[in-house]
Amino acid sequence: MINVALLSVIRRWHLRDGMSIREISRRTGLSRNTVRKYLTSGVVEPKYPARSVANKLDAFASKLEGWLKSEAKKGRKQRRIVLNRPATRPKSVLKAVAMPSVCSRGCGPR
């Protein structure tokens, strides 16, 4: 994987020191095509594809949404009982739905 530091070294060796692409590829361990690509494109920073990170709760999203919607319809005191249930749902998500006034002051992790 090419980072910005390696890219600047490649450019410096070729443009300032006059080193050949073959020698640069030998020293860095990169392909000559890769070295040539970064030299001819004029790119200062390499571009990487966007990561797609799967969330651990994605499998349970529909179930959680159903729970939260049903809890939002309950009265104030009944919603507080839900917050005291052990480890069934994340507290910050429940606070956002069950007690919106608390969440406006900040309900994220402390």
What lies within 8 Å, CB to CB, of 61 at 6+ separation is none
pTM equals 0.41
Residue 63 CA to residue 52 CA, distance in Å, equals: 22
User: Which one-letter DSSP state was computed for residue 12?
Assistant: I
Task: Evaluate if residue 101 carries a pLDDT over 80.
Answer: no
Q: Where are the domains of the chain?
A: 4-41, 58-104
Helices (H) and strands (E) in the chain, counts: 7, 0
Name the 3-class secondary structure at 108. coil
pLDDT-derived band at 17 (thresholds 50, 70, 90) equals very high
In the predicted model, what is the mean pLDDT of residues 7-22? 91
Q: Amino acid letter at 87?
A: A
Question: Angle at which helices 32-41 and 4-11 pack, to 10 degrees?
Answer: 80
